[in-house]
Amino acid sequence: MSETLVMTLANLVTEAQRLTAAGEGAAASGLYAGWIAANPANPQLYIAHFNHACLQGDLGDASGARESLQACLALNPDFLPASINLGGLLERAGQVPLAIEQWQGVAQRVVAVTGAAIAYKLTALKQIARVLSEHHKPALAEATLRQCLELQPEQRDVIEQFMALRLAQCAWPVLPPGDAAERRRLLRGTSPLSMLAYTDDPWLHLGLAHHYARCLVDESRDLSAHDRRDAPILLEGRRLRVGYLSSDLRDHAIGTLMAEVFELHDRGRVEVTAYYCGPPSTAPLQARIKAAVEHWVDIREMTDDAAAARIAADGIDILVDVNGYTRDARTAIFARRPAPVQVNWLGYPGTLGTPWHHYIIADAWIIPPEAEPHYSERVLRLPCYQPNDRKRVIAATPSRAAAGLPGQGFVFCCFNASQKLSRFTLERWMQILLAVPGSVLWLLDSGEEMRANLAAFAAARGVAEGRIVFAPKLNNPEHLARYRLADLFLDSVPYGAHTTASDALWLGVPVLTLSGRGFASRVCGSLVRAAGLPGMVCATPDEYVRRAIALAQDPVELARHRRTLAARRDRCDLFNMEKLVKRLEALFHQAARTHQAGRTPVPRLDNLDSYLEIGASLDHEAEEMLALPDPDGLYRARLARRHAVRPMPPDGRLWP
């Protein structure tokens, strides 16, 4: 006790760190407790309580950590890190209102304009926004994020969340009108995934993807330790080694789409390894995928360097990025080039704009030859881009009343996520409802704010209350079963139906779509064509509206489409997984041979900052890109203007 009494706080911290590093965390905690008991009048006692709380948290002693933080704040209420950490403990204990109250106290207490004070306030506000969003309070979360942006306008993580929340609420306009500078700033900070839903501008998609990749990866670091870009792929006497890296090989749309792909891979031709980086899962779907692949490697706890080292040590020939720019992606692993050939497929519907993704897998409809300049990767094509799971479980069909639908009337449906529902799409849907008396529009419920915004939008256009019906989220078998109650699935633009479209087509529901210019806006057209209904793919918004109204008034034609889907379901390209997997393996071998010949494509990334700046300067909410007669001409003119000020090299795209 006497040694503890005379020990300075600095010595205490040093000794506690030594004990912790030696695996003696409990002894370090006891040391803190003894020092605190022996030094009740020390002016730095609050710091000892705080450090002790951090150690207790690491040791799993949540109640002890909470008591230590409360003791810290009792001594120094202005020690904001303790309030922030206490909020985290309260949240993890399920006391969310108390956690928010704690963080609000931090945000309100900070008045000094110092770097540390602003940082604490921002941390508290971000925690509040995150928790509100997770607990389905998007409007309150958005208001909190606005405060963050007022303090520091250039926060990319905050802008990403802000834009995603605006889109999910169907809060239009998504960006503040009138302030062009703020609009450009927000668009530059938007995630590429949200941008796919915001506008159908493939030049902007490419420029933003390239910018985003540079934000995600610290290119000033040495990334070469596991670089295998020049490694040979020797296929004589062995199989091609293919790795799939994804956070979604679980109870997720991507996991569902890919499950049968893994089961059908020819083990005589390819050796498959799955690298999983998503949250822990005990779902039967993940167990099914684990059983289908030869090797399952969990890289969640690995650093990017460690994961790249593992992939390199496994000698992977083709590494497939099944995330792209989606949640829990590990883009920086690909930046380390642990495989000689790296492929973008399925998880993200668009170009990644990086120097380290060599190929993108699509099909002839999604990326026709004339659209290839929109992509940094070289295009490889399947008969139909999207795989499907033919083993999905479907519950019994509910009654219309049980599903919340009226007893009579035509049912238009769209079960796309709410962030895909643009104002331009809703304008067209309102025209369709007004032209088809008694019809309803059946949408997936995404919360109170989304319902209120769409109800107000409909009312302002003369569509009576009750004609938009919101479907609650259900488990997948029950969700799939209710598709059978719909008469026609209406696709959204610019981010169209993907899994939702193939679900509808599998269950015999015709899908009407409008194909735009970008990847995400053309996937549904690919699926509909592959299912045998090419006439259901429209080229213009007017055609889309006319076709929807005509189909609702022509039950004979609609029945003919249903018969076509039923007759072709087992042999069409959309659900022919044997054909898809065989062709996929052929593409992988083709890419391997190209690499062996020294012709692996090198992405050309010239002038992409200029494409981003031009795209971000356009007001995409004032006029839909589909309505522009010559968007490429618009870009060429603005590139020429920029070139006159600062000469640009030829880029093989719009700039000759």
The CATH code of the domain that includes 148 is: 1.25.40.10
511 - beta bridge partners? 489
The pLDDT confidence band at residue 310, using thresholds 50, 70 and 90, is very high
The pLDDT confidence band at residue 78, using thresholds 50, 70 and 90, is confident
Whether residues 240 and 324 fall in one domain: yes
Number of domains in the chain: 3
Whether residues 202 and 294 fall in one domain: yes
* Structural domain contains residue 401: no
Residue 28 has a pLDDT of 93
Residue 105 has a pLDDT of 86
Is residue 124 predicted with pLDDT exceeding 90?
no
Helices 541-552 and 423-435 meet at what angle, rounded to 10?
Answer: 30
Q: How far is CA 639 from the centre of its chain?
A: 30
Whether residues 225 and 353 fall in one domain: yes
Helices 25-38 and 45-58 meet at what angle, rounded to 10?
Answer: 160
Whether residues 562 and 421 fall in one domain: yes
CB atoms within 10 A of CB 256: 22
Whether residues 199 and 339 fall in one domain: yes
* Structural domain contains residue 398: no
Q: What is the mean pLDDT of residues 244-270?
A: 97
At 434, phi and psi to the nearest 5? Answer: -65, -30
Whether residues 457 and 437 fall in one domain: yes
Residues 6+ away with beta carbon under 8 Å from 485: 397, 398, 400, 403, 405, 411
Residue 179 has a pLDDT of 81
Q: What is the mean pLDDT of residues 392-411?
A: 96
Angle at 188 between CA 184 and CA 193, to 5 degrees: 125
Q: Domain boundary at 532, 556, 575, which?
A: 575
d(C-alpha 354, C-alpha 376), whole Å: 7
Give kind and range of the element (H or E) at residue 276: strand 270-276
* Structural domain contains residue 21: yes
* Amino acid (one-letter) located at 202: P
Among 119, 329, 342, which Cα is nearest to 217's? 329
The pLDDT confidence band at residue 1, using thresholds 50, 70 and 90, is very low
The pLDDT confidence band at residue 502, using thresholds 50, 70 and 90, is very high
The pLDDT confidence band at residue 117, using thresholds 50, 70 and 90, is confident
Q: Which two tokens stand for residue 228?
A: 């295998």
The length of the chain, given as a count of residues: 656
Whether residues 206 and 112 fall in one domain: no
* Structural domain contains residue 406: no
Whether the bond into 173 is cis, omega within 30 of 0: yes
DSSP 323-376: -SSSTT--HHHHHT--SSEEEE-SSSSS----SS--EEEEETTTS-GGGGGG-S
* Structural domain contains residue 390: no
Q: Which two tokens stand for residue 66?
A: 């909470």
Sheet holding 468-471, edge to edge: 468-471, 440-444, 411-414, 488-490, 511-514, 537-538
DSSP 369-404: GGGGGG-SSEEEEESSS----TT----PPPPTTTTT
Locate tokens 């205490």: which residue? 12
Cβ(357)–Cβ(344) under 8 Å? Answer: yes
Tens digit of each residue's pLDDT (9 = 90 or more) over 179-229? 888 999 999 999 999 999 999 999 999 999 999 999 999 999 999 999 999
Whether residues 206 and 290 fall in one domain: yes
Q: Domain boundary at 192, 220, 246, which?
A: 192
Q: What is the mean pLDDT of residues 435-462?
A: 97
Residue 426 has a pLDDT of 98
* Structural domain contains residue 297: yes
419: which DSSP letter?
A: G
Whether residues 139 and 94 fall in one domain: yes
Whether residues 338 and 356 fall in one domain: yes
* Structural domain contains residue 400: no
CATH code of the domain covering residue 520: 3.40.50.2000
Is residue 120 predicted with pLDDT exceeding 90?
no
Residue 547, domain extent: 411-575
User: What does pLDDT average to over the chain?
Assistant: 95
Whether residues 492 and 612 fall in one domain: no
Range name among 135-139, 349-353, 442-446 with the lowest pLDDT average: 135-139
Is residue 112 predicted with pLDDT exceeding 80?
no
Q: Domain boundary at 560, 575, 590, which?
A: 575
CATH code of the domain covering residue 634: 3.40.50.11380
Whether residues 601 and 483 fall in one domain: no
Q: What is the mean pLDDT of residues 57-69?
A: 93
Residue 237 has a pLDDT of 87
Residue 3 has a pLDDT of 54
Range name among 91-105, 161-175, 456-470 with the lowest pLDDT average: 91-105
Cβ(494)–Cβ(199) under 8 Å? Answer: yes
DSSP 540-603: SHHHHHHHHHHHHT-HHHHHHHHHHHHHHTTTSGGG-HHHHHHHHHHHHHHHHHHHHTT-----
Among 44, 113, 114, which Cα is nearest to 79's? 44
Whole-model pTM? 0.91
CB atoms within 10 A of CB 623: 11
Cβ(410)–Cβ(432) under 8 Å? Answer: no
* Structural domain contains residue 525: yes
The pLDDT confidence band at residue 5, using thresholds 50, 70 and 90, is low
Is residue 47 predicted with pLDDT exceeding 50?
yes
User: Exposed, middle or buried by CB within 10 Å (0-12, 13-18, 19+), for 440?
Assistant: buried
Pairing of strands 411-414, 378-382: unpaired
d(C-alpha 384, C-alpha 524), whole Å: 11
d(C-alpha 45, C-alpha 35), whole Å: 9
411 - beta bridge partners? 440
